[in-house]
Structure 1
Amino acid sequence: MSSPKIETITVRDNITAKVLIKGEGQPVVFLHGAGGNVWDPYLEELSKHYKVYAPFIPGHGGSTGNDQLQGWWDLVLYYYELFDVLGLESVNVIGHSFGGMLAAELASTDPKRVKNLVLICPVGLWIDETPVTDVFSLVNTPDVLLTKMFADVNCEAAKAFSTLPEDEEQRIEAIVENLIALTEAGRYMWPIPEKGLKRRIHRLTANTCIIWGDKDGLVPVDYAYEFHKKIPGSRVEIIENTSHYPQAEKLEDVLNTTIKFLSSTPVANK
């Protein structure tokens, strides 16, 4: 197997991406959600079976020139361009949390490229009303914020957002700091349920597997079956006694589920 490496890819003028590339065989693109580094053991094992591309999401410290990415669709187009630069014409895509929503968007708008799709505890896909990257929509009242971000506004993680500064800039800083702290502490939240792909999700033709943990108290496991109903031909795999980051508790189960699914519909090696 080839040695793990990180390549700096120029995607557009003044916008570069650092891409972790490992392994050989079928190409797999993994799109991180929050707390991307907790997926390292999963990616390491996955790379023993596939050639894994794990782009650092723009805006998460792995890229430069991110002020030129103006919104959700710009981010989608950015990844299409990255795929082109990497020569990925037929590919498996795995996405976790926010990365899952992005993966589903890529699969629904370019079905000829994305052949297999794995969604691991993705952000809500069935409603499509507001821009995903609009952080400023979160600076209203704490009650509105909590209602948008959490399935249960009384849950432990929501308490971190119950009191926020009055000043708008300070509120945004506090929101970001709380998100980082919660991720690092392993206290997970369900970000912004009204973000999604309501008008496009029915166009998904990729072979789709939805992997979900059964003990994430902030997101009912029933949500997995909501995804299943909205995505034609999809299947649901529940990893018992795991949370929003199921691979952290049952790495082998998540890995085996992923490999078994991806091997069902091979794509061309690139």
Structure 2
Amino acid sequence: MKLILLGVRGSTPAPGQAFVRYGGHTSCVAVIADGATVPSLVLDAGTGLRDLGTLLCGHAFRGSIVLTHLHWDHLQGLPFTPCVDRADARVNLYFPAALDASPSELVARLMSPPLFPIGPEGLQGAWSFCSSSSGMVEGFSLTVAEIRHKGGVTHGIRVEQGGRSFAYLPDHQALPHDPAAVALASGVDVLLHDAQFLSVERRVADLYGHSTIIDALDFAEACGTGELVLLHHAPTRTDDQLDVLAKELAELDSPRPISLAHQGDVISLNR
């Protein structure tokens, strides 16, 4: 199993020279199954989804996209990604369940005039819109659970294949610890976790339902994870500022490897 981090920013894309090394695209992770050469599973559809085509060797995407939640930075890439919007594409799009709308109705809310030029019926290819649930998706075992984040239902996702596992919680208010979130990430080989804010930004982190870096470290310890990869970087956090944070994290006496995610990073989970 291999992960390609296509977008690691939170809230809004971050263009410009100050954001080149860590990347400016918002949340998107492509997953390649054991024995495969191209991804069939994608987690979130932020602007990073636009780079999915570079992994497909000119072919259409044929697989599943699982959204953690419906905030803009996690779905902005959907209508702007050619490899999912062509006649030979096959896309199963999974949403956290909403009490007041079906998945197809939610898509229509996201894409329809006057907010967008076309509705979901304007997307080419074979699309299906589904409610997320735990089970097998594209040959991966997925466990989804509702986690704490402000502004609608948000899921954390655990993915397992071939005896390896990772958890993806890009938007998560980790403190106080929620038993469901801890169970989701317990013992994973790699944890991809929200670290948008610093400790001095605690008030804003709590206001918007996010974690600080210290919260993420504490959560990883509570879950007994392997490697911790911190992402969903604040859109105003420059490369130079992230370099300072990376240096501070490298100096910690930690029982697990800790890194700050870069757009384009490849993480292999092969035994």
Under a length normalisation based on structure 2, what TM-score does the superposition of the two structures give? 0.37
The structure carrying a bigger helix percent of its residues is: 1
Q: Which has the higher strand share?
A: 2
